[in-house]
Homo-oligomer: A and B are copies of this chain.
Amino acid sequence: MDEKDKDLGITVKKSENFSEWYQQVLTKSLFMDYTEVSGCLALRPSAYAAWENLSRAVDAEFKKEGVENVYFPMLIPEKFLNKEKEHVEGFAPEVAWVTGAGNSEFEERLAVRPTSETIMYPSFSKWIRSWRDLPMRYNQWNSVIRWEFKHPTPFIRSREFLWNEGHTVFATEAEASAERDKILGIYINALKDYFALPGIPGKKTDSEKFAGAVASFSVEHVMPDGWAIQGPDFHLDGQNFAKAFDIKFLSREGKTEYGWQNTYAISTRELGVMVATHGDDKGLILPPKVAYIQIIIIPIYKKENGGNIIEYAKKIEALAKEEFRIRIDMREGYSPGFKFSEWELRGIPLRVEIGEKEMADNRARLVRRDTGEKIDVKLEEFSEKCRSILERMQKDLYEKAKEFMESMVKRVSTYEDFKRILPLGGIMQAGWCGNAECEKKVKEETGAKITNMPFDQGVLADRCIYCKMPAKSMANFARSY
């Protein structure tokens, strides 16, 4: 990067052209880059560290819950993929096929996993014999390919993504159902504590559920442009896959029964939601808990005093490096102002400015990325102040995002209001009769689908927003990514 380069910064406003802003911020902040393979990304250290921090937090909670990690092959024989009818219908159109290796063709082509039910469950069938082997609660962290989207958007609509896939088997339906709130709770807490992201949990409609599931549940986010986007999900699979893959066990009472299964996932899509939610016209804003660099020290000096100031910077770094991910920008030939802008663009939560004045006073100046607030601190309180500012920033980002999300959930009671308000953005919360026909008509006429029926139902409306028959539940309608 050269100081003379034009267009280093973001050239559009987030509020004026969200889509262009999003594309610019992702690449200019060195968060990710496109590759020659359309829809498949290069995650640079900034993006990967955020994912690593989130996924390790989720993983730690899974372990506390008794979920165990495993790893299954990335390639799936076609005949396995075909075993569960709804599942294969849902995935076949977007499966990438390996047809051979070296110079030889395979007799049966292999799917690159779009999800792993069909490679895992033949093994589950073999491993599970009796009630003593249950529950079996397995999870894997991997990458999957779904060759969909004519126009992929980084993270939001990607052809390859990283995720976890939980696959569990229980002896009873009740035990399987009881897992739902534990797992969704883990996802919701991790998104809040690490990505500073709120979401709306709820149940999917039958037409929006996972291919092969009995019931699906999701956490939905609202993007800055007012569109909804699905976050992590959880599926009650009942005995559908167990019957297709012959996952049976001998019960305590000596009967042969099919297992009850769940699946659940969170993916790198959340990186896109995080960038979109917190960023501003200056660029990326990384939540402190997942920032690959939390504190950047920028020494300000004239040539003759450089050595002293750099020593002072190293002293500060040494004070804090046990607790924080901290770095000094010692690149020569760049002005402090250029460095300020670059690290703002890259979303580093806290900047430390030190010059001759600060050094003389045994002080440092802290600048908070999200608010621009400047705080002068004495060296002896440096770590303590950094800690409290970063904690505050993490909370503030979440509160701001939550406030925005809540402002975007709009309860509407007539279809006229629905159609009038929808183009302004957000989620239209309305009564629904439960009929798939009404869901379909609303989608055809407005472009809004039911993202989910939120767990927090509030006061039930009397009537369905479309057909005016008695409402069975409140549903969240939105245009959705």
Chain A contacts to B: CB under 8 angstroms: 1-2, 30, 33, 35-37, 40-45, 47-49, 51-52, 68-77, 80, 92-103, 110, 112, 119-120, 122-123, 126-127, 129-130, 132-133, 138, 140, 142-143, 145, 147, 160, 162, 292, 331-334
CB <8 Å contact, B42 and A110: no
Instruction: Provide the bound-state CA to CA distance between A102 and B95, in Å.
Output: 5
A75-B160, A94-B102 given; 7 more Cβ-contact pairs under 8 Å:
A36-B77, A48-B70, A49-B69, A74-B143, A93-B102, A101-B147, A132-B331
Residue from A40, A140, A331 whose CB has the most chain B CB atoms within 10 Å: A40
Instruction: Provide the bound-state CA to CA distance between A42 and B44, in Å.
Output: 30
6 pairs, CB–CB < 8 Å, chain A vs chain B: A2-B129, A2-B130, A35-B73, A37-B77, A99-B99, A112-B112
Q: How far is the CB of A53 from chain B (nearest CB, A)?
A: 11
Dominant secondary structure of chain A at its interface with chain B: mixed
CB <8 Å contact, B162 and A75: no
Note all chain B residues with C-beta closer than 8 A to A333: 132
Instruction: Provide the bound-state CA to CA distance between A239 and B96, in Å.
Output: 34
Q: Which 8 residue pairs of A and B lie closest in terms of their CB atoms, listed nearest first?
A: A101-B147, A40-B73, A45-B68, A43-B71, A93-B102, A96-B101, A132-B331, A99-B99
- Cβ-defined partner of A42 (8 Å) among B36, B69, B72: B72
Note all chain B residues with C-beta closer than 8 A to A123: 33, 35, 42
CB <8 Å contact, B48 and A69: yes
CB <8 Å contact, A97 and B99: yes
Q: Which residue of B lies closest to A329 (CB)?
A: B132
Instruction: Provide the bound-state CA to CA distance between A120 and B101, in Å.
Output: 22
Residue from A69, A140, A142, A160 whose CB has the most chain B CB atoms within 10 Å: A69
CB <8 Å contact, B69 and A45: yes
CB <8 Å contact, A98 and B70: no
Residue from A70, A123, A334 whose CB has the most chain B CB atoms within 10 Å: A70
Instruction: Provide the bound-state CA to CA distance between A73 and B331, in Å.
Output: 31
